[in-house]
Amino acid sequence: MHLRTLCTLIVLNLVPCLVASAQLSEQHNVSSFACPNLYSMLFYPRTTKNITVLSLQPLKVQIDYEIHGPTSTHFVSIQGMICDNGFNQQAANAVCQSIGKNYAAYVPYIHWSEGPTDRCQFTMDSDSAVYVPCAFVSVNLSCLNDAKSLTECSQSTLSKQECTSDRHISILCSSLPQKTTTATAITTITTSTFNPLTNQCSSYISITDGRRRATQGTSNICDRGYPFNASEDGSWIRFMGAAGTRLISSPIGTQKCGTSITGWYTGSHPTILGENVTGRVCFEWLDGKCQYSKSIQITKCDDYFVYLLPRVPGCHMAYCTE
């Protein structure tokens, strides 16, 4: 086992040290840290002193520790990745706050594999840095709403089995003007008038929030809550008023229509009164015009459409309109 691998395992609490100290000393000139000494460090209490964000896509950090031995304290820095297990909006907010931004959007379940030039550093005390594979270094971050950085958040011991190459996180940070809005833009519409069309044409949720139009800039819309989570399939939605009348049908880029990750309909709208079609909404993130998608239904009702829209995969994602 190479020193860089051994050091990573020690810091992450993954497995015991199983390599002979003579081999380490011969190959890496680390006679001052023989294998038994390195192994004993697994059990030393540690204090997280600082977590610095190195990159957002995927999320990569440097964690600075103090490791407290029976007679001495060691200072350790390890660079690596954050596992999406337990990661939430509060943690994303803390990431963006730490780099001076007040708005955060994050997407879990990102697949990332280390390239030939992707390496992370490990340092101990005043020794020279050792380059190690960019492994996961943190999981189950728990942050308060007012956390200004990941340093203020708690984290649990990392288990290798719970984090794989598809459990990375991608974060988008931006600055939004501080403003207060009191308007509500969601109304439940139910009519008792006889309608020969399907039920969804007479009972639906009306959304009139003009921020989600394709011509608008970014805001904090995230379509994971009500009414999109009212059932497993979502809710029947009618867009009207300032929100426009229909979903957009082409990609528009990120940080528009009141959100960060924009959703657009890839198919054709029904043309026959009462016709119901099934299609797909793509969500555009970074350079991928359809990195995520959701199946939806559309019904043509009189002179308008209603959409069966499920909740989106992550925040901040939203269905965009025109």
- For position 26, which CATH number holds? 3.10.250.10
pLDDT tens-digit readout, 241-277: 999 999 999 999 889 999 989 999 999 999 988 889 9
**Nearest-CA neighbor of 316 among 295, 290, 285, 293?**
285
Q: Are residues 165 and 314 in the same domain?
A: no
Highest mean pLDDT among 112-116, 185-189, 209-213: 209-213
Assigned domain for 181 exists: no
Range of the domain at 60: 3-174
pLDDT of residue 279: 93
Assigned domain for 127 exists: yes
Q: Which residue has the higher pLDDT, 262 or 130?
A: 262
pLDDT of residue 39: 44
Q: Which residue has the higher pLDDT, 181 or 52?
A: 52
- Mean pLDDT of the region 220-245: 89
Q: How far apart, in whole angstroms, are the C-alpha atoms of residue 297 and residue 236?
A: 9
Does residue 11 have a pLDDT over 50? no
pLDDT of residue 183: 42
Q: Are residues 145 and 205 in the same domain?
A: no
Structure-derived torsion over alpha carbons of residues 246, 250, 253, 257, reported in degrees to the nearest 10:
-10
pLDDT of residue 162: 66
CA-to-CA dists, residue 33 to 29, 132, 133, angstroms: 9, 17, 21
Q: Are residues 203 and 267 in the same domain?
A: yes
Assigned domain for 72 exists: yes
Q: Are residues 200 and 273 in the same domain?
A: yes
Q: Are residues 130 and 9 in the same domain?
A: yes
Residues 6+ positions from 310 with CB-CB distance below 8 Å = 228, 232, 233, 234, 294, 295, 296
CB 143 within 8 A of CB 18: no
Q: Are residues 219 and 257 in the same domain?
A: yes
Assigned domain for 90 exists: yes
Does residue 127 have a pLDDT over 70? yes
pLDDT of residue 186: 53
Looking at every residue in the chain, the average pLDDT score rounds to: 77
Decide which of 126, 154, 174 is a domain's last residue.
Answer: 174
**Nearest-CA neighbor of 315 among 223, 253, 186?**
223
- Mean pLDDT of the region 16-40: 39
Q: How far apart, in whole angstroms, are the C-alpha atoms of residue 218 and residue 205?
A: 23
Decide which of 113, 147, 174 is a domain's last residue.
Answer: 174
- Mean pLDDT of the region 116-142: 81
Q: Are residues 136 and 10 in the same domain?
A: yes
**Nearest-CA neighbor of 289 among 263, 313, 315, 311?**
263
Does residue 297 have a pLDDT over 90? yes
The full DSSP string for 89-125 is: HHHHHHHHHHTT-SEEEEEEEE-----TT--EEEEET
pLDDT tens-digit readout, 46-87: 788 889 988 888 899 988 888 887 888 888 888 889 888 888
Q: How far apart, in whole angstroms, are the C-alpha atoms of residue 315 and residue 89?
A: 8
Decide which of 174, 198, 229 is a domain's last residue.
Answer: 174
- Mean pLDDT of the region 216-244: 89
DSSP-based three-state secondary structure for 316: coil
Q: Are residues 165 and 213 in the same domain?
A: no
Query: How many Cα neighbours within 13 Å face the side chain of 118?
Result: 13
Q: How many domains does the chain have?
A: 2
Assigned domain for 289 exists: yes
pLDDT of residue 4: 42
- Mean pLDDT of the region 226-242: 89
Assigned domain for 7 exists: yes
Q: Which residue has the higher pLDDT, 271 or 180?
A: 271
Q: Are residues 134 and 191 in the same domain?
A: no
- pLDDT category of residue 236 using cuts at 50, 70 and 90: very high
Q: Are residues 158 and 212 in the same domain?
A: no
Q: How far apart, in whole angstroms, are the C-alpha atoms of residue 90 and residue 97?
A: 10
Q: Which residue has the higher pLDDT, 193 or 47?
A: 47
The full DSSP string for 176-198 is: ----------EEEEE--S--SS-
Assigned domain for 180 exists: no
Q: Are residues 168 and 217 in the same domain?
A: no
Assigned domain for 63 exists: yes
Q: Are residues 44 and 98 in the same domain?
A: yes
